[in-house]
Amino acid sequence: MNVIAPRYALILVFALLPLLKSSAAVDLFVAANGNDRQDGRSMAAAFGTLTRARDEIRQLNATGLLPAGGVIVEIAGGQYAFTNTLALTAADSGTAVSPIIYRAWQNQPVEILGGRVLKLSQFSAVDTEPMLSRLDPVARGHVLQTSIRGLGLQHAGPYPAVFSDSGGLFELFWNGRRLPLARWPNTGWSTMKRAIVNGDAHTPGTFEYRGDRPDRWLNNPDVWLKGQWRVPWEDPAIRVARIDPASHTIRFAAGLPAGIGNKYSRPAGNGQEPWCAVNLMEEIDQPGEWAVDFATQTLFFWPPAGAGELMVSQLDQPLIALQGAAHIQLTGLTLEASLGDGIVVENGESDLVAGCTLRNLARRGVVLKGRRSGVQSCDMYELGEGCVYVSGGRKADLTPSENFVINNHLHHYAVLKAMYSPAVDVGFGGLPNGGGFTDAVGIRVANNLIHDAPRDAVLVSGEDNVFEYNEIYHCGFGSGDVGAFYSWLDWTIRGVVIRYNFIHDTVGGVNPDDGAAGSLVFGNVFAGSRTGVWIASGPDHRVINNIFVKDQGPVFGMDDRGAARGYATNSRLHAAVLGIHADTSPWVERFPEMANLLATHPELPLRTKFERNLIVIQSGGPIQLKMSPEHQADTNLLVARDNFVTATDPGFGNAASGNYDLKPDAKVYQKIPGFQRIPFEDIGLHCDAYRQVLPPEAKTGRYPAAAPGKAGDRNFGT
């Protein structure tokens, strides 16, 4: 059996390496203390802005004088505050022999900022009523205030009635660190006692709260509560209409489409729905916290100890945007302190973002839509949403995009929008329930280190996409229906290869949810109590030659929910299949099972294989089937064979330290003839032209291995 990737899976990273200095290349120089009236041909005569360098390249293009060696824009170290997006179009493009490179000069720290610096001298003490009495007693004498209008700040609220991200409010940063918006509780959550009115899209909900903390907010007309009001994969913030301390109830000012209260325990809910209050000056109780009073347009802030630079994000558009631009490279830059995305590439051709740092953004790091373009060896963290959103190619005729996301360190993301904000989104679109699906064909995601996020590591969709050599841990503990690799409700997902990944101490391994189809899961290592593979009624999955290490089974699960939920007539599932004309080329040759799929009960997990896997568990069985007896007996659904289950070490290099490489004489080679060694040494980050040094273990948070979940919780299914 050939388990190597289908066509287009091994996408070569072609010629997108640092441009060697060519005698024909033109150098342009930019410095923070430069001047746009200079010629920009030396650092002594540097331009003052990247926009001026862009315009110089645009003029070279227009006159046909783009040199054969391309143009290198050398950017001196310093801070570059953007009040508008640096927009690059087709007029700013390079060519294969004349690329355009914007890079940090001599690896100096170049910071591209979407914010502005505030001085503490622009603040005054809070020493008058009624604001003073609204402060927590511990904060009095420490909190400063300033007029937002007086400073000319934008994006100061108020929030929308319902939101799931930053709500459009600016953020504060101190010495490059995001400062916490005041909330209660400071960490963790309160819980609803019970739902009184579930409500709906037109009727706001009402719930009974615990304790008496909300009584402190009665004089604040702008209270928003954020919570998982109905299910653990939705966490909107909702404006409060009324707090009644006599009845301990809170009534919202807006409704949610499906109301509040756990959907499985209606009408009262389950009494465990988590929630918190956000942006309340009454809850500033420690250094670094801040809040905006929308009614008076006042910013309140408790400064951290010591000297520091206070910055407020202001730009709400991408810092850098490429639209129809080709052969442009952005290398060695740091982008931060913005309310928008870092870099957006639309209809790009052979563009590269490499060796960059994207942090402290309210939205995403890089959005990449194009061909033969990639994100390589970047660091992304403290992002409000996800890190890399990549799509491209053409689904109708399976034309590959050849885009890639390789060797990136992606961590501590989704800090403002927790749900559906992954490290890597391949065509899923960043919306719940696949609401943003876009064509994603022939994309490679490899050698990324992904960790510490509330939900998914990778959202999967599309065709002929390869996910390999990634290490993933500490994701998913803030949500439900989650996966290190998660896909949803699409029978046209085909040719997806998930191989040679190390998935440990995280939630939900590989979870094709609600009928998502078409994956080969080969040669991965799953370790930890909540990892595994769960097939939620989707057809054509193969789980082969993997290693599962858990204290207790199962490691693999499958259900037949599609029968009970009516997937056989689901309009979305059917429309996707009908839209590809599966009985015509190239679909009929590439995926012949699709031609008659709709006539073969695709609502069931047809042709599932669980074979030749090494399973190390101390107790329990390896497989769990949540299916009717009739479906469990149906041999067209699951083939499970030649798996080796053991409670003892089968020959790992050093499992105690996280080394699950198999020794040459490991028992599994006798128990499963033909079992292929997993190239453990090739998993994760490596040094390349853009990543000269690997992050030290102390900064990865990998060890100790204990994950942040609840003790004894072994649920990994969707």
DSSP symbols for 423-473: SEEESS-SSGGGTT---BBS-EEES-EEEEESS-SEE--SBS-EEES-EEE
- Residue 78 domain-assigned (yes or no): yes
Return the closest-CA partner of residue 510 out of 486, 490, 526, 494. 486
Residue 382: inside a domain: no
Is residue 450 domain-resident? no
Q: How far apart are CA 519 and CA 540, in angstroms?
A: 7
Q: For the chain, what is the mean pLDDT?
A: 94
Give the per-residue pLDDT at 110: 98
Distance of alpha carbon 482 from alpha carbon 476, whole angstroms: 6
Query: Based on the domain organization, do 58 and 172 belong to the same domain?
Result: no
337 within a domain of the structure (yes/no): yes
- Whether 101 is in a domain gets the answer yes
Rounded Cα distance, 615 and 618, in Å = 10
Question: 3-state class of 56 per DSSP?
Answer: helix
The Cα 441–Cα 492 span in angstroms is: 12
Tell me, what DSSP letter sits at residue 285? -
Sign of the CA dihedral running 589, 591, 592, 594? negative
Token readout for 168 is 């459009």
Which pLDDT belongs to residue 704?
A: 58
Tokens of 259: 């109301």
Kindly give, in sequence order, each residue whose CB lies less than 8 Å from that of residue 682, ignoring residues fewer than 6 positions away.
447, 469, 500
User: What is the CB neighbour count within 10 angstroms for residue 149?
Assistant: 11
pLDDT tens-digit series, residues 37-73: 999 999 999 999 999 999 999 999 999 889 999 999 9
User: What is the C-alpha R_g of the chain?
Assistant: 27
Confidence of residue 699 (pLDDT cuts 50, 70, 90): confident
506 near 473, Cβ under 8 Å? yes
Q: Are residues 191 and 151 in the same domain?
A: no
Which pLDDT band, with edges at 50, 70 and 90, does 15 fall under? very low
In this structure, the number of other CB atoms found within 10 A of the CB of residue 665 comes to 8
Query: 303: closest CA among 187, 175, 132?
Result: 175
692 within 8 A of 443, measured Cβ to Cβ: no
**pLDDT tens digit sequence for 529-571:** 999 999 999 999 999 999 999 999 999 999 999 999 999 999 9
* Contact of 424 with 448, CB cutoff 8 Å: yes
**Average pLDDT of 707-716?**
63
52 and 198 fall within a common domain: no
Does one domain contain both 92 and 46?
Answer: yes
* % pLDDT > 90, the chain: 91
Task: Please state, in angstroms and rounded to a whole number, the distance separating the CA atoms of residues 486 and 509.
Answer: 8
Pairing of strands 144-147, 298-301: antiparallel
Give residue-wise pLDDT tens across range 261-288: 999 999 999 999 999 999 999 999 999 9
Q: Alpha-carbon distance 538 to 42, whole Å?
A: 60
User: Across residues 412-438, what is the average pLDDT?
Assistant: 90
Question: How would you label 312-350 residue by residue, b for 16+ Cβ within 10 Å and e otherwise?
Answer: bbbbbbbbbbbebbbbbbbbbbbbbbbbbbbbbbebbbb
Do 170 and 230 share a domain, yes or no?
no
Least confident window among 324-328, 436-440, 545-549, 689-693: 436-440
* CA nearest to 481, candidates 436, 528, 536: 536
30 and 109 both lie in a single domain: yes
Verify that 177 and 131 share a domain, yes or no: yes
Distance (Å, rounded) from C-alpha 548 to C-alpha 575?
A: 36
Q: Is the dihedral of CA 84, 87, 92, 98 positive or negative?
A: positive
Same-domain pairing of 178 and 287: yes
Residue 365 · residue 330 · CB < 8 Å: no
CA distances, 420 to each of 362, 364, 435, 455 (Å): 15, 12, 10, 7
> pLDDT confidence of 718, banded at 50, 70, 90?
low
Contact between residue 527 and residue 503 where contact means Cβ atoms under 8 Å apart: yes
Question: What is the C-alpha separation between 229 and 170, in angstroms, rounded?
Answer: 25
592 by DSSP, 3-state: which? helix
8 A C-beta contact, residue 397 and residue 374 = no
Give whole-number Cα distances, 651 to 229, 256, 614, 662, 670, in Å.
46, 53, 11, 6, 12
Under the banding of pLDDT at 50, 70 and 90, the label for residue 17 is very low
Same domain, 143 and 173: yes
Query: What is the arithmetic mean of pLDDT over 509-514?
Result: 96
Q: Which residues pair with 449 in a beta bridge?
A: 409, 471
Output the six-digit token pair for 500. 């040679």
Tell me: do 153 and 290 sit in the same domain: yes
pLDDT of residue 8: 36
> How many residues belong to the chain?
718
Q: What value does the mean pLDDT take over residues 309-318?
A: 98
pLDDT score for 20: 42
> Token match 């009534």: residue?
251
- Residue 602's Cβ-count burial label (10 Å; 0-12, 13-18, 19+) is buried
Provide the residue range defining the domain that includes 208: 184-278
Query: Looking at the domain assignment, is residue 286 inside a domain?
Result: yes
Q: How far apart are CA 43 and CA 52, in angstroms?
A: 14
Report yes or no on 261 lying in a domain: yes
Whether 19 has a pLDDT exceeding 50, the answer reads no
Q: What is the pLDDT of residue 550?
A: 95
341 and 193 in a common domain:
no
d(CA 516, CA 177): 39
Q: What angle do CA 575, 417, 145 make, to 5 degrees?
A: 150
In angstroms, rounded to a whole number, what is the distance separating the alpha carbons of residues 360 and 369? 23
Confirm if 413 and 453 have CB atoms less than 8 A apart: yes
Per-residue pLDDT reduced to its tens digit, 593-640: 999 999 999 999 999 999 999 999 999 999 999 999 999 999 999 999
For residue 138, pLDDT over 60 is answered with yes
Q: Quick one: which of 87, 80, 91, 74 has its CA closest to 30?
A: 74
Query: What CA–CA distance (Å, rounded) separates 58 from 66?
Result: 9
From residue 494, alpha-carbon distances to 12, 171, 491, 611, 679 in Å are: 21, 41, 8, 20, 25
Residue pair 419/479 in contact (Cβ under 8 Å)? The answer is: yes
Rounded mean pLDDT, 490-498: 97
At residue 355, does pLDDT exceed 60? yes
Burial (0-12, 13-18, 19+ Cβ within 10 Å), 359: buried
Positive or negative torsion for Cα 388, 389, 395, 397: negative
Top pLDDT among 713 and 43 is at 43
> How confident is the model over 26-34, as a mean pLDDT?
97
Question: What is the Cα–Cα distance from 311 to 175, expressed in whole angstroms?
Answer: 8
Overall domain count for the chain = 3
Structure-token pair, residue 600: 């073969």
Distances 657 to 145, 652, 686 between C-alpha atoms, Å: 50, 10, 20
Token reading at 416:
């403002």
163 and 176 within one domain: yes
Report if residue 484 sits inside a domain: no
Question: Which pLDDT belongs to residue 435?
Answer: 75
Phi and psi at residue 391, to the nearest 5°: -150, 180
Report the alpha-carbon distance of residue 129 to residue 262 in Å, rounded. 41
d(CA 662, CA 678): 8
- The sign one gets for the Cα dihedral 576, 3, 425, 704 is positive
287, 303 Cβ separation under 8 angstroms: yes
Cα 300 off chain centre by: 31
716 falls in which pLDDT band (50, 70, 90)?
Answer: confident
Beta-bridge mates of residue 275: 190, 227
* Angle (nearest 5°) at CA 529 between 641 and 682: 75
